[in-house]
Amino acid sequence: MRKSDEPIIEFKNFTFQYKSQSEPSLFDINLRIYPGEKILIAGPSGSGKSTLSNCINALIPQAYEGTITGTLTVDGKNPAKEGIFGMSKSVGTVLQDTDGQFIGLTVGEDLAFALENDAVEQDEMKRRVAEVADVVDVQKLLDHAPNELSGGQKQRVSLGGVLVDNVRILLFDEPLANLDPATGKKTIALIDDIMKVKDVTVVIIEHRVEDVLYRDVDRIIVVNEGRIAADMKPDDLLAGNILNEQGIREPLYVTAVKYAGCTIDPKDKPQHIETMNIAPYREKLRAWFEKAPAPDRTNNNPPVLEIKDLKFSYTPDEPTLRGISLTLRKGEMVSLVGRNGAGKSTLAALICGFLKPDSGTILLDGEDISPLSIKERGEKIGFVMQSPNQMISKPMIIDEVGLGLSVRGFPAEEVRKRSEDVLRICGLYPMRNWPVSALSFGQKKRVTIASILVMNPELIILDEPTAGQDFRHYREIMEFLRDINRKTGVTILMITHDMHLMLEYTDRAIVITNGQLICDDTPARVLTNDAIVDEADLKRTSLHDLAVKCGIEEPSEFVDRFIEYERSKFAKEGRSSE
């Protein structure tokens, strides 16, 4: 709701070109944001949305030089003249990587940092820190070190650190990227609650549109190729096809209604599944459900990995894993999910040999692997980190892919042949003699996976394979992994917070919370089970709510048929584009 006729942020005929680039990243932007509004800026990677935010907080042009034409006014100031420090009094930025924002040794010190810079009297400083700590609900954490906090707690402290300065604009850069689904919901709810008690304008940059729409936003601004492709109210935007056209994922329930052949009317309020009027679409949705094929995802292959009663503690009397038992079969694609700190990464580290269990057994192809070193396990089990930059150590693609074979003493000719064979499978053969630095993030991800595949592993474990990726790059990476799975029969285990990845690309979901395995079932049944969702801090799929509103007795069947339909649809589109 507007509190003023004068915009608090205004771009007029604004164009920006980075110093190192030959073309502008923003073209002729005209945009007004008013006091008290909550705005979502969405767009694919490289669309210009982060450039837009960096102009607002003066990182452009102070930290990132370039040429500006047109004008930008933020809270009555010109960011290019005020600089980062000057704009920090009006704009508080919460980064995607919260660790990059911490300054103090404790939460209390971190919250007080901006006030100390302004030489605020100590009594006033304590009062304002206590006030902000209450707003973001970290009163009990003031004496804690930031590195002791969970992802959600870090997000709250980062938010408090900018609120303490009484800023008028809160700018969030991909606030959900590193959070589990339930913590993401709490973050969106917290932003909404703050707007009720603080006179602030909120700008959220995020490609996960459905997650942000957990609470109302006033407008969604879609950016692509440096231009504003849409500036609309959520109900109007979701009723059309702009998000799909711009390579941004729609809310799943909206997509399902469209799959059923329905045209959504903005008057039916599609911004939230809870309040959307489903009555005009119910019969078509039920008819579509009846006709949609049910998936067959049985896997009777022999086990490749068996874990029996695995226990591990970092410190005595504080168990991290409490007797985990599970089996992975050859050729499966399985997701490992649960809240931050549940024990997922610890389990992966134990499988790879980075840690040694307190007790329990890990079998690979029926053989106990406890005597194997990390190097020996690496020949059978591959681990792909979240960031490819953490794994790449050679400047040239062909050398990076063959590195694992080279260090094991394989002849140079065999190293080259196996590397080239894997690069063909991965679609990277034409680039084999390129420098790694010339690749995009997604291509680097493929190189790291190729460097694992060249070892002919039995199992590949991937940590958050699509974190921070827009819909197009997400689909590129996941279709690539599915193709690898089909061509080689390798078993793939993915640690993920992405509930749609879990639904769309894996046939089993293993759920861990508080170090215990609480569920091992199909993704659809996991995400339609309220008890499991709540216990593991997952997010119930909106397809469940849509099925319930349509009177479908088994919501998990509706979810399964939606996913099967979508898999077939994208497979046909992929074949037609080849």
Instruction: For helices 441-453 and 412-425, give the axis angle rounded to 10 degrees.
Output: 130
Are 94 and 172 a contacting pair, CB within 8 Å?
yes
Written out in words, the top-level CATH class of the domain with range 9-247 is: alpha beta
Are 321 and 482 a contacting pair, CB within 8 Å?
no
3-state secondary structure of 304: strand
pLDDT at position 574 is 61
User: 288: exposed, middle or buried (C-beta count within 10 Å: 0-12, 13-18, 19+)?
Assistant: buried
CA pair distance 115, 157, nearest whole angstrom = 15
How many residues in total does the chain contain? 578
Could you state, in order of their start, the residue ranges of all structural domains in the chain? 9-247, 251-291+544-578, 303-543
What 3 state SS string does 383-414 have?
Answer: EECCCHHHCCCCCEHHHHHHHHHHCCCCCHHH
pLDDT at position 59 is 92
Give kind and range of the element (H or E) at residue 575.
helix 555-577
Q: Is the CA virtual torsion 183, 186, 192, 194 positive or negative?
A: negative
pLDDT at position 511 is 96
Nearest to 357 by CA among 373, 342, 370, 374: 370
Are 361 and 309 a contacting pair, CB within 8 Å?
yes
Are 144 and 106 a contacting pair, CB within 8 Å?
yes
303-543 matches 9-247 in CATH topology: yes
The token pair that represents 189 in the structure block:
């709810």
Alpha carbon 397 to its chain's center: 27
Q: What is the DSSP letter of 339?
A: S
pLDDT string in tens for the chain (578-residue length): 445 579 999 999 999 999 878 899 999 999 999 999 999 999 887 788 889 999 999 999 999 899 999 999 999 999 999 999 899 889 988 876 667 678 888 989 888 888 888 888 888 888 888 888 887 888 888 998 887 777 667 878 887 888 777 889 999 888 887 677 777 888 888 889 888 888 899 999 988 899 999 999 999 999 999 999 999 999 999 999 999 999 899 999 999 999 999 999 999 999 999 999 999 999 999 999 999 988 877 888 999 999 999 999 998 888 999 999 999 999 999 999 988 778 898 999 999 999 999 999 999 999 999 999 998 998 899 998 877 888 889 999 999 999 999 999 999 999 999 999 888 888 888 889 989 887 766 678 888 888 988 988 999 999 888 776 777 778 888 888 888 898 889 999 999 988 888 988 998 999 999 999 999 999 999 999 999 999 998 888 999 999 999 999 999 999 999 999 988 887 666 654 44
The domain 303-543 is placed in CATH, from the list 1.10.357.10, 3.40.50.410, 3.40.50.300, 3.40.50.10490, at 3.40.50.300
pLDDT at position 242 is 95
